[in-house]
Amino acid sequence: DAALVQSARVFLGEDAAGSSGRQLLSGGPVPSGTNAVSVPLDTPRGNSTHMLVYLSSSLAEQSTPSFATISDVSATVASVAFPDDDLDAGQLGGFVAWAPPAENVQVTAYRVHLAIDVSGSSSLSVGSVPV
């Protein structure tokens, strides 16, 4: 029952069971209602393969954590091109093209977004292409 949760602790671990786990946030547990935490840049990964979350109530801490497998990869496309074939004002249409990254072994899809600036503000998904 989510109403009984008082806090959560976030760990890095070497497997889904939390082997060799080390607490990620030095400030201790995060309060109930917190559903996201920021991992500081340049946090050493070590041999960790999983992000683990242990929930606590007034009675006990969860013995089996919820987890996610860490994917510590990045890939960027180049030479993005979009010739707008829709000649109507305020409307877009046409094909988006790009050069794939040199290392794309971990890439599973390319997702195309329309945004109002290069930072991705007000991003709108317009398509996805599986690899």
**Over its length of 131 residues, how does the chain's per-residue pLDDT go in tens digits?**
778 888 988 999 999 988 888 887 767 788 888 888 888 888 888 899 999 999 998 888 888 899 999 987 778 899 999 999 999 999 999 999 999 998 888 888 999 999 999 888 899 999 999 98
What is the C-alpha to C-alpha distance for residues 106 and 50, in angstroms, rounded to an integer?
17
pTM greater than the 0.85 cutoff: no
> Tokens for 74?
């990045």
> What are the helix and strand counts (H, E) for the chain?
0, 9
Look at residues 51, 50, 55 and name the one whose alpha carbon lies nearest to residue 33. 55
